[in-house]
Amino acid sequence: MFIEGISPYAFKIGPIAVHWYGIFMAISFLVGSYYLYTMGKRLNLDEDFLLNLAIVVIIAGIVGARLMFVLTNYPEWFLKDPIQIIKIWEGGLSWHGALLGGFLAGWPYCRRYGINPNVVADLTVLGLSFGYIIVRIGNIFNQEVLGRMTEFSFGRWPAQLIGSSIGLVLLVRYLYLQNKNLPPGYQFWSFIWWHQILRALIEETVRENPLFLVHYVNEKWGIGFFTLTQLITPFVVAFAYFMYRSTSGHGYGGYGYGGYGYGGYRRRHY
């Protein structure tokens, strides 16, 4: 969706400009962290552990998201203009980089304290889904993640709203499955599975992204193959399946749904 003349700024205070993108991202962090904290407390997970985990994952996710975006789009910035790397308020974050950064930081952090990482990962799905919904809306204000032009009456595909719709579907799915007796990790890894497939087949197909290896564009329909995300989708899906199969049912020290509460964590301070 492209809106002529829309401002990326919510407001300005002197030289300081607050972007809508940053506001939406902050909201997604707050919602995800609050849900993790609230649900974790119900499962007798330690308060300090939950708060520290949220901070660790958020920081690692932002760093991973920015580095992945720069590596795949503007690698020359590392040598020619490194200051651009830290300008996350202008947009330019990679979803896959955020997931990878958060995963690499959060997974070992949970294991360090004897928590089944799959149990905690399930609690992040609401925040991930909600974040995808509103950050894609933030992309509209930054005039990025644009859809391809078509020969239809509506012109350009509203790629950001399509992305938000995918997030909404996955959020509803998560809430529905909460009432089911599912093994630890199912919610998280199936979320990764379905998000990747839906994004590759729908959002990326109509998104105006550079194409790699095979270059096919149908200008009438406004679709194209293959973007980088589409090419890596089989690997991400295979990784999600492998991780679920290899970790589901393994409680990391005997902890699972039973034991000392959900995830087996004894409340303690450290």
pLDDT digits (tens, 9 = 90+) for 72-102: 888 889 888 888 888 876 668 899 999 999 9
202 in a domain, yes or no? yes
Q: Which residue from 133, 255, 237, 143 is spatially nearest to 191, judged by alpha carbons?
A: 237
Count other Cβ atoms within 10 Å, centred on residue 112.
9
96 in a domain, yes or no? yes
Interatomic CA distance for residues 226 and 220, integer angstroms: 17
**DSSP for 26-38, written as a single string:** HHHHHHHHHHHHH
9 in a domain, yes or no? no
- What are the φ and ψ backbone dihedral angles of 268, each rounded to 5 degrees? -160, 165
Q: Which residue from 78, 79, 59 is spatially nearest to 69, judged by alpha carbons?
A: 78
Interatomic CA distance for residues 120 and 252, integer angstroms: 13
Which residues participate in the annotated binding site? 136
pLDDT digits (tens, 9 = 90+) for 209-227: 999 998 999 999 999 999 9
Residue 104 pLDDT > 80, yes or no? yes
33 in a domain, yes or no? yes
The tally of domains found in the chain comes to 1
Residue 267's pLDDT band (cuts 50, 70, 90): very low
The residue segments making up the domain with residue 217 are: 16-247
pLDDT value for 50? 97
30 in a domain, yes or no? yes
198 in a domain, yes or no? yes
219 in a domain, yes or no? yes
265 in a domain, yes or no? no
Q: Which residue from 199, 203, 196, 198 is spatially nearest to 223, judged by alpha carbons?
A: 203
pLDDT digits (tens, 9 = 90+) for 40-76: 999 999 999 999 999 999 999 999 999 999 998 888 8
